[in-house]
Amino acid sequence: MIKIDLIVGARPNFMKIAPIIHALERVNNTEPLIKYRLIHTGQHYDANMSETFFQQLEIPKPAFNLNVGSGTQAEQTAGIMVGYEKLLLEDKSDLCMVVGDVTSTMACAISARKLLVPVAHVEGGIRSGDETMPEEINRMVTDSITNYFFTTSEIANENLRRFGVKDQNIFFVGNTMIDTLLKNRARFIKPEIWDKLNLNEKEYIVLTLHRPSNVDEEAKLKDLIDEIIAHSHNLPLIFPVHPRTAKIIAGLGITHPRLYMIKPQGYLEFNYLVERCKAVITDSGGITEEATVMGVPCMTLRDNTERSETITIGTNELIGVNPKAIKPSLDKLFQGNWKKGAIPDLWDGETSDRIVHHLLQIFKYE
- Compute how many residues bind ligand UD1; rule: CB under 6 A: 18
By CB under 6 A, tell whether 265 contacts ligand UD1: no
Contact letters for ligand UD1, residues 102-141 (x by CB under 6 A): xx------------------------------xx------
**Which one of 22, 44, 121, 210 is the catalytic residue?**
210
In the complex, minimum distance from the CB of residue 231 to ligand UD1, in angstroms, rounded to a whole number: 26
Contact letters for ligand UD1, residues 161-200 (x by CB under 6 A): ----------------------------------------
Candidates 7-15, 51-59, 82-90, 289-297 — which segment interacts with ligand UD1 by CB under 6 A?
A: 7-15
When the beta carbons of 76 and 351 are compared against ligand UD1, the nearer one is 76
Alpha-carbon torsion (160, 176, 358, 103), positive or negative:
positive
Count other C-beta atoms under 10 Å from residue 212's C-beta: 12
In the complex, minimum distance from the CB of residue 120 to ligand UD1, in angstroms, rounded to a whole number: 19
In the complex, minimum distance from the CB of residue 67 to ligand UD1, in angstroms, rounded to a whole number: 12
142-168 in b/e form (b: 16+ CB < 10 A) is: bbeebbbbbbbbebbbebbeeeebeee
In the complex, minimum distance from the CB of residue 196 to ligand UD1, in angstroms, rounded to a whole number: 24
Which residues 6+ apart lie within 8 Å of 266 measured at CB? 48, 52, 53, 56, 189, 191
When the beta carbons of 135 and 269 are compared against ligand UD1, the nearer one is 135
In the complex, minimum distance from the CB of residue 177 to ligand UD1, in angstroms, rounded to a whole number: 12
User: Residue 334 burial by CB count (10 A; 0-12/13-18/19+): exposed, middle or buried?
Assistant: middle
Q: Which residue in 4, 5, 11, 36 binds ligand UD1 (CB under 6 A)?
A: 11
Could you give phi then psi for residue 162, rounded to 5 degrees?
-60, -30
When the beta carbons of 242 and 278 are compared against ligand UD1, the nearer one is 242
Q: Which residue in 12, 19, 266, 314 binds ligand UD1 (CB under 6 A)?
A: 12
Interacting residues with ligand UD1 between 329 and 358 (CB under 6 A): none
Decide if 64 contacts 5 (C-beta within 8 A): no
The rounded distance, in Å, linking the Cα atoms of 105 and 136 is 12
When the beta carbons of 118 and 134 are compared against ligand UD1, the nearer one is 134
Contact letters for ligand UD1, residues 43-82 (x by CB under 6 A): xxxx--x--------------------x------------
> Is 210 considered catalytic here?
yes
**Interface residues with ligand UD1 (CB under 6 A)?**
10-12, 43-46, 49, 70, 102-103, 134-135, 210, 242-244, 284
Q: Which residues are catalytic?
A: 210
